[in-house]
Amino acid sequence: MLLRQRFCTKSAPKVKTRMGTQMSAWQIFQYGGNEELTQTTTARVPNILKPTDLLIEIHAASVNPIDTMMRGGYGKAMINLLRQGLWNQAGGTEFPLILGRDFSGVVMETGKGVTRYKPGDEVWGAIATQRQGTHAQYCIVGQSEISHKPKSLSHIEAASLPYVAVTTWTALCLVGELTQKNAQNKRVLIHGGAGGLGTFAIQLMKTWGAEVTTTCSTDAVGLVQSLGADVVIDYKTQDVQSELQRISGFDVVLDPLGGKIPSFSVDLLKGWRNSKYVSLVTPVLSSTDKFGIPLGLLTTATNFGTNIIRGFINGRSYRWALFIPNGNALGQIAKLVDNGKIEPVIDKVYTFDQVPDAFQKVEEKHGRGKTVISIKDS
């Protein structure tokens, strides 16, 4: 495990114009398993289509559970609906599809409406699901999806954070309504503390003065304690239900694991105290895949409504959160990183040729921090 391991930061290359019309990338041509991942050196370098878009040279990217799920077709009904606009502009189609949702890299070209960045700037970002992904030499991003990268991190270190950081921000801050000002002494339960998302969420909450309880396996207890977790429950050796019920009364519960979290978790919240259970496993994408968009949305709304009513009955609130690109949040997180408040936790770094191995690792679902792909320096 590379906790805060230092990698050389290379100075930004001289940027004048795009390097060529073809690039290396990992693509899929149909949904399926790892065997669908195809490496090419002749993918088309994407074009800037909107004035607020930028062309990025990617130095490093991470692999997230969403990449392995999208490889299998998860969310395709909704994501393809969102992609229609891009297809109309670029004349593209669903395949070949490049996976990968975050990156650290360098700005190569900017659209006319880009005001905050210029060629040569080092940036990081987590991009919308309908865009072509970041497991490639270049990608197109919108200026609202990125910020300047933390100066204190190498590209490999930086690439480990954007997707999990922005998702955590959405879940705990936008949906869970925690802020730097009000989080002090709040009691927060973070399930799955050893994974990519958990390792970031623990650090953010500790930086803001919350009291953090987390669950993880035996071998990860030391890791989550080193990140600041106040109470650690080892779900392999301890009775999670009785331990959590003993200390219950949480202001916010973050549930990234959905069905793996026992239903009693909702009852661990403080009653009648504006407490919130935030789940990162929403049925919206799986329901629309299964039933089509109208019926899938209806099923989701019914499910959501049931949980809201349940929340009203006991004064607690049940909410879902989804990744939403957020360059402003990344800018604030970059400052926390440069101030030494948050550190990247990297499980393993793979070369660009080893992308299928990186997918396999993430698919095993036993992350201890993040899985990163080195692209520029591979």
Ligand X SMILES: NC(=O)C1=CN([C@@H]2O[C@H](COP(=O)(O)OP(=O)(O)OC[C@H]3O[C@@H](n4cnc5c(N)ncnc54)[C@H](OP(=O)(O)O)[C@@H]3O)[C@@H](O)[C@H]2O)C=CC1
Q: How far is the CB of 166 from ligand X (least distance, A)?
A: 9
Shortest gap between Cβ of 172 and ligand X (angstroms)? 12
- Rounded Cα distance, 214 and 240, in Å: 10
For the chain, how many residues are written? 378
**C-beta of 150 vs 198, nearer to ligand X:** 198
Which amino acid, 236? Answer: K
202 binds ligand X per the rule CB under 6 A: no
Give yes or no for a contact between 63 and 371, defined as CB atoms under 8 angstroms apart: yes
- Does 165 help bind ligand X (rule: CB under 6 A)? no
**Nearer to ligand X by C-beta: 90 or 281?**
281
Site stretch for ligand X (CB under 6 A), options 103-111, 214-222, 223-231, 348-356: 214-222
Asked if 195 is part of the footprint of ligand X (rule: CB under 6 A), the reply reads yes
Residues 19-78 close enough to bind ligand X by CB under 6 A: 64-66
The reply to whether 257 sits near ligand X by the rule CB under 6 A is yes
When asked if residue 138 is in the footprint of ligand X (CB under 6 A), the reply is: no
Count of residues interacting with ligand X (CB under 6 A): 29
Whose Cβ is closer to ligand X: residue 210's or residue 362's? 362
Identity of the residue, 215 or 300, whose beta carbon is nearer to ligand X in the bound complex: 215
The contacts of residue 264 (CB under 8 Å, 6+ apart) are: 241, 244, 245
Minimal distance in Å, beta carbon 347 to ligand X? 8
Candidates 266, 280, 355, 373: give the one binding ligand X (CB under 6 A): 280
Q: Taking contact as CB under 6 A, which single stretch among the options 11-19, 52-60, 136-144, 196-204 is the one that binds ligand X?
A: 196-204
Cis peptide before 96 (omega within 30 of 0): yes
Residue 231 interacts with ligand X (CB under 6 A): yes or no: no
Q: Is 281 in the site for ligand X (CB under 6 A)?
A: yes
174 in contact with ligand X (CB under 6 A):
no
Measured CA to CA, the distance from residue 227 to residue 342 in angstroms comes to 9
- Could you give the CA distance from residue 114 to residue 219 in angstroms, rounded to a whole number? 46
The span of 8-16, 41-49, 311-319, 363-371 binding ligand X (CB under 6 A) equals 363-371
Neighbours of 139 (CB within 10 A): 26
- Closest residue to ligand X, Cβ-based? 195
Report residue 293 CA to chain centroid gap. Answer: 24
CB of 197: closest distance to ligand X in angstroms? 3
Collect all residues with Cβ–Cβ distance below 8 Å to 175 and sequence separation of at least 6: 276, 278, 319, 320, 321
Q: Based on the shown chain and the rule CB under 6 A, indicate whether residue 207 belongs to the binding site for ligand X.
A: no
Our CB check for ligand X shows the closer of 140 and 216 to be 216
Cα 201 to Cα 364: distance, rounded to the nearest angstrom: 21
Cβ at position 221, least distance to ligand X in Å? 10
Asked if 215 interacts with ligand X (CB under 6 A), we say yes
* Contact residue for ligand X among 192, 311, 327, 344 (CB under 6 A): 192
* Of the candidate residues 2, 23, 164, 183, the single one contacting ligand X (CB under 6 A): 164
C-alpha 21/C-alpha 9 separation (Å) is 27
Locate the DSSP E strands across the chain: 2-3, 22-28, 38-44, 53-63, 97-98, 102-110, 122-126, 138-142, 146-148, 187-190, 211-216, 231-234, 252-255, 275-279, 316-320, 345-351, 370-374
Contact 235, 366 (CB under 8 A): no
Q: Which residues pair with 254 in a beta bridge?
A: 190, 278
Rounded CA-CA distance 341/227 in Å is 10
Contact call for residue 367 and ligand X (CB under 6 A) = yes
For 8-50, give the DSSP string.
PPPPPPP--S---SEEEEEEESSS-SGGG-EEEEEEEPPPP-S
From the list 91-99, 140-148, 275-283, 297-305, the region that binds ligand X by CB under 6 A is 275-283
User: Applying CB under 6 A, which residues contact ligand X?
Assistant: 64-66, 164, 167, 191-192, 194-198, 215-217, 220, 235, 256-257, 260, 280-282, 322-323, 362, 365-367
